[in-house]
A and B are shown apart, each in its own frame.
Chain A
């Protein structure tokens, strides 16, 4: 039996600031996880990652990260990705700074 596909988002770091970004449905980068395009199958995920890699002048190191559907949009699954949506835990720096 084929394994169930875990939905994905495409994520990277912005070239200039290094801040975490996510690929939207429209093919732009957003700083907010909940605005990311939640990808539901492997074939689309592969294509969207290639699209992201073509935007190499805007971002660094795009990759696919597991995500799930939440009330306000996609939510991260792994704690590493959850930290990336916020910033460090020792100071209110990064995205949580507002």
Chain B
């Protein structure tokens, strides 16, 4: 996998030394908070409700065992023995003290990790499909493209003060596990006449004004991709609104100017940009691609078939948590960080070490973090699956619920986040616990529940099949439900179901929705989302708001 060069390491060491001096100057009083805040945010340090928070980038979600172990060590040494994996493929430490942060950054630097550009109005941590390089149906590995974009955008002088933050996601599969349509730029790698290129989507985003990205270009060949992206960002940099923070994202620029006008401007700018690229980027791309070459897969599935046939518990785990790998004797294993009743995305330092150990022993030293807040062993030989399952069981990591009702995405909400209007974590915990008690989730099948603690939508609630948005209504927590959202290739923003629910009503409301679905679905093969698309919102609204339905009938 891609290894940081000496240049990268020196750059990180220098950045960390600068930040160490800035922290000292804040503590001795020579910097005010107004002066210090932008500096700490550029280094991933936030102040939340109860403490500071350090956000560490995991570019395209890829980690090796050594890095995962270092994350565990940092959690033990400077935090409370755990970390929170987020929907942006970051890890957040919720309890660092200001004085310790430079040491934490140095410890990250030792394994080539950092917290740069996880905030600010720059091109952020580029995200990629978490099954990259492993999925059976993949057209091309999105990570070399993501890495190329990372190198091009990191400290890119023209793009350090964009009108607003800028998020790029890349997928190499038609299944689009990277939610590309909800990003400022979404890239979908496709093949045309034997050549790999990207379909470029622009102007997607969630937050206050959710929008699905529009296709700017059907196909940009790989050698033309960076100049094309540079043209898009340059057009946005000039055109994007700086007068109003809420209208500053490129989704509003696209909405206000129209996709045709943006395309015209980009095509114009592209000619100038293209001329300035001399092919060095493609040489670099070649090198990067070699770094991402697939591991040497080993043939043979051992006793896997018998192990699968013999044990129903193991079988259920495999059926729920694995996905087809490009090599027939391998599988992609998703390890759930959503044990029923636990905080979605949290892993203890011990769990991190178990995952590191398993990746090193069995999984070609690779781990991934998904935007759905789970950890993935992307290259797992089937012959080791049983041993891995046993080790995970011993560490509380063998929950078989991937893609089911309790595999909930939840943002930190008002338990941590200073911007929150309500809590999201305990709502997720209670919904998962309820489904566990009811023993319903296998019968229900694929269902994505996503929860955000404010309108910024970090929990992707708009693209949840069931979305939950926590609000403050006259000093009380209130939860709005959206239905029918989808973050996949045919992304859709969910529709608001109606008035919100009080904190202690929302779990019941979700149960009613799920029971209504079970009652009206046309067989076990029809998923929640398919039923919703067939029937529309009416039967779901009827179960959410029984009284008002009667009032209408009367």
Contacts and interface: CB of A to CB of B under 8 A. Distances in A.
Interface of A: 13, 15-20, 56-57, 60-61, 77-80, 83-84, 87-91, 93-95
Given A15-B98, A16-B97, A16-B99, 14 more contacts: A15-B26, A18-B51, A18-B52, A18-B97, A79-B475, A80-B414, A80-B420, A84-B49, A88-B415, A90-B343, A90-B415, A90-B426, A93-B50, A94-B51
Interface in B27-61: 27, 29, 32-33, 47-52
B477 interface: yes
A19 B94 CA distance: 12
B95 to A, nearest CB: 7
A57 B29 contact: yes
A17 B78 CA distance: 12
B140 interface: no
Contacts of B475: 77-79
B461 interface: no
Interface in B360-405: none
Contact of B50 (A56, A60, A61, A84): A84
Contacts of A90: 343, 346, 415, 425-426, 429
B32 A19 contact: no
B33 A19 contact: no
Given A84-B50, A88-B415, A90-B415, A17 B425 contact: no
Contacts of B95: 93
B429 A88 contact: no
B476 A79 contact: yes
B50 A89 contact: no
Contact of B416 (A17, A61, A78, A88): A88
Given A20-B50, A90-B343, A83 B415 contact: yes
A20 B553 CA distance: 52
B423 interface: yes
Contact of B423 (A16, A20, A89): A89
Contacts of A18: 47-48, 50-52, 97-98
Contacts of A60: 33, 47
A78 B414 CA distance: 12
18 contacts: A13-B47, A13-B51, A15-B26, A16-B27, A16-B97, A17-B97, A18-B51, A20-B49, A77-B475, A79-B414, A83-B414, A87-B50, A88-B416, A89-B423, A90-B425, A90-B429, A93-B80, A94-B51
B36 to A, nearest CB: 9
B51 A17 contact: yes
Contacts, number: 72
A79 B415 CA distance: 11
A15 B27 contact: yes
Nearest to B100: A16
A88 B50 contact: yes
Contacts of B343: 90-91
A56 B27 CA distance: 10
A84 B475 CA distance: 15
A29 B33 CA distance: 18
Contacts of A83: 49, 414-415, 423
Nearest to A93: B80
A94 B50 contact: yes
B80 to A, nearest CB: 6
Nearest to B34: A56
A61 B98 contact: no
A58 to B, nearest CB: 10
A77 B97 CA distance: 28
Contacts of B33: 56, 60-61
Contacts of A77: 475
**Residue from B50, B415, B420, B476 with most neighbouring chain A CB atoms (10 Å):** B50
Interface string B94-108: 110111000000000
A15 to B, nearest CB: 7
A5 B292 CA distance: 63
